[in-house]
A = this chain, B = another copy of it.
Amino acid sequence: MLHLTISQGDGVPIYLQLVRQIKTLIATGRLKPDGELPPVRVLAQQLVLNPNTVVRAYRELEVAGLIYKKRGAGTYVSSEVTPYTDAECRRILAERADALVVEGLNLGYDEDKLVALLRERHKTLRRDAPDEEGA
């Protein structure tokens, strides 16, 4: 039973809310490699969503290499890290890093303060994870 919360009226597309939350669950190890995700219909019913919305979220996650489908069986968390090349990974992360840096500059955070913040958030997110056995 996944703990997912969606908010209908906040502008962020529902499928994106799903994608982000599942990404976080995977990143922090709360969803284990080869663990099973709920069937589309079950999740849709549980969250009172249009099944197509869940389908779309799962598809995005599959494209990103984070989950995979076994025909007739179900949907599972990938055990491989990522299907992206090193360069692609770098580009994706550089974009997010840039967002952080720009906002930081505007709010008066210099490089060292940003790094400190990043390290702290990293530890916090990892600490929330249940175990480290998969690493």
| A contacts, CB < 8 Å to B | 8-9, 13-14, 20, 23-28, 30, 50, 63-64, 66, 68-72, 81-82, 84, 89-90, 92-94, 96-109, 111, 114-115, 117-119, 121-123, 125-126, 129
Contacts and interface: CB of A to CB of B under 8 A. Distances in A.
Given A13-B71, A64-B106, A100-B100, 4 more contacts: A24-B106, A27-B101, A28-B107, A102-B125
Decide if the interface of chain A is mainly helix, strand, loop or mixed: helix
A93 B82 contact: no
Contact of A117 (B63, B84, B97): B97
B108 A28 contact: yes
Identical subunits present: 4
A28 B93 CA distance: 19
Contact of A27 (B28, B105, B126): B105
Contacts of A103: 23-24, 27, 92-93, 96
